[in-house]
Amino acid sequence: MKRVRLGVVLLLVLSVAMAGCLDNNFVYARGKSVPPGESRGWFFKGPANLTVKVTSNIPVEVEVVSSGGTVLKDFGTVREVNAVVELPKGRWKVVVRNPGNETAVIDVTIKA
């Protein structure tokens, strides 16, 4: 019976935590792989000051783009980004793309 209660409590805690993640005001991913030619992306709503921190074992392309594809900020092909981007009203996406020939391993922290 205690295991059932513990499971229900754990499920509730995870549900609350996931609800916070659905708002997309914070992303933390450590050791996320990005195969050659692929990308990863995370959506955010503006207006907001978006803190973007990305580190990679190989150079990757990092951009902030609108839902329509307009580039707001292009960080270029880099191994590290540590910046604050002012997001206008709307829906925005932080994109990390791997243009190389080997798998990139990235650590990402993004918060609005």
> Quick one: average pLDDT of 6-26?
51
Query: pLDDT tens-digit profile of 85-103?
Result: 999 999 999 999 999 999 9
Query: What CATH number does the domain containing 65 carry?
Result: 2.60.120.680
Tell me if 102 sits within 8 A of 58, measured CB to CB.
Answer: yes
Residue position matching structure tokens 């307009």: 70
Residue 51 falls inside a structural domain: yes
- Total-model pTM: 0.78
pLDDT at 49: 97
Domain count, the chain: 1
Residue 2 falls inside a structural domain: no
Residue 53 falls inside a structural domain: yes
Supply 79's token pair: 């191994």
Tell me if 106 sits within 8 A of 32, measured CB to CB.
Answer: yes
Range of the domain at 42: 26-111
pLDDT at 15: 47
Residue 6 falls inside a structural domain: no
Residue 16 falls inside a structural domain: no
Query: pLDDT tens-digit profile of 19-36?
Result: 444 456 899 999 999 999
